[in-house]
Amino acid sequence: MSLETTRLRLGFIPLSDAAPLIVAKQQGFFAAEGLDVDLVREASWANVRDRVAAGLLDGAHMLGPMAVAQALGIGSDPVAITVPLALNLNGSAITVSTAIADALRELDPEGMRRRPRTAAALGRLIERRRAKGLAPLTFAVVFPYSIHNYELRYWLAAAGIHADRDIRLTVVPPPRMVEKLAAGEIDGFCVGAPWNTWAVKQGLGEILLYASEWWGATPDKVFGLTRAWAERHPDTLRAALRALLRAGRWADAPENRGALATLLARPEHVGSPEDVVRMSLTGSPPLIQGDPVSDSHDYLVFHRYAASFPWRSHAIWFLTQMVRWGQAPRSADFAAAADVYRPDLYRAAAADIGDPSPEADFKTEGLHAAPWTLEDASSPIPMAADAFLDGAVFDPDAPLGYVDAFAVSRVAASR
């Protein structure tokens, strides 16, 4: 194998889940593959999308749904995108201002003590505000095509709240979420690490729900690039994937999590206080200021549970939510969405470094309420629970049936 190029420019957004890229660069995994990588911190997801499309970036830290949307020409011109690797599972959360959290506790003290918390109390608060003629609550997500948008909408809808009708939903970049909450411009948000923890640490917000409480192993960021670039640089891409896989493994090791927090916190990376970054890496962050950090390394997962495998069923799931919320038509091409994800490229790179890979490209989501073992793999892989909060099961072979089964959706509202 010979590398078609050794210089790469990769973009990222200041979030803890950019860790595999940052670690691969700073811990020398890219260099060990003979790659000289420039990491470019970008200001917006739209910029990442457009700069990858224009060839100004060779690849980037991307929102999984954004990669699928771009490939299908939803919200931008279609550009063939390839996703050969996922960057993480979990890591996002839904947070509300402490004032809203206190109001919820007053309305439903029992429900606020239960885990996972449903949005039922929030539904009652919304009704009460409506009766008083108050303005709707405002929530923010990070991008229209993001797991955060679908996570918040799903959780609200499971309690009968329609995000387009009952609240006001806006888009705010991750590093600005907390200042907007502090300023009272938004009442809550769904964002990735470390920004929920930052709100809790300052006593401004309370976490209502971890992503993993909504969907056991929530797909999130991916490594994406144009298909044209991937096809022109197969060996360079394979080398980059090996480096990213090793970086993910390094970032997941409990003994490295402290050093990872130090690295990520630096101003040129995430740029937030180190103790805040640490809280969602060495454990699960406290829900409320003053609570202890619980002892778990599953709040943000980079490598375990086949976290970096690009499941084609994830790409299809993202498109089901685009249809559910009116971003894509029912005639959307589910097969084309699945083709954006390239488990074949992943398996080749994983085999090079002796990492086990799943044999199947698709999996049914929501079947496991407890940890399980994936036997259908080059060697058995321990997996995390993947159940949804409402017990729904997603069969990637029947995406429209899945969409139609939701009681609350834009599709249902227009029927």
Name residue 332's amino acid.
A
SS3 138: strand
Single out the segment in contact with other proteins by CB under 8 A; choices: 41-49, 95-103, 226-234, 304-312.
41-49
The DSSP string of 74-98 is SSS----EEEEEE--EE--EEEEEH
Site string for other proteins, 134-163 (x = CB under 8 A): -------xxxx-------------------
Does 111 bind other proteins (CB under 8 A)? Our answer is: no
Does 321 bind other proteins (CB under 8 A)? Our answer is: no
Single out the segment in contact with other proteins by CB under 8 A; choices: 46-54, 87-95, 232-240, 298-306.
46-54
| Binding residue for other proteins, selected from 6, 28, 34, 56, defined by CB under 8 A | 56
Site string for other proteins, 198-237 (x = CB under 8 A): ----------------------------------------
Distance CA(302)–CA(295), nearest Å, equals: 17
| Binding residue for other proteins, selected from 84, 173, 248, 358, defined by CB under 8 A | 173
| Nearest distance, CB of residue 164 and other proteins, angstroms | 8
283, 46 contact by CB (below 8 A): no
Nearest CA to 174 among 153, 187, 191?
191
The DSSP string of 231-256 is HH-HHHHHHHHHHHHHHHHHHHSGGG
Does 172 bind other proteins (CB under 8 A)? Our answer is: yes
DSSP-derived secondary structure letter, 365: B
SS3 85: strand
Does 169 bind other proteins (CB under 8 A)? Our answer is: yes
Single out the segment in contact with other proteins by CB under 8 A; choices: 121-129, 170-178, 292-300, 341-349.
170-178
Cβ-Cβ contacts under 8 Å for 73 (sequence gap 6 or more) = none
Distance CA(415)–CA(412), nearest Å, equals: 5
Does 171 bind other proteins (CB under 8 A)? Our answer is: yes
| Nearest distance, CB of residue 250 and other proteins, angstroms | 30
The continuous run of DSSP H or E covering 336 comes out as helix 334-340
Q: Which residues bind other proteins (CB under 8 A)?
A: 43-47, 50-51, 53-56, 75-77, 141-144, 168-173, 175-176, 327
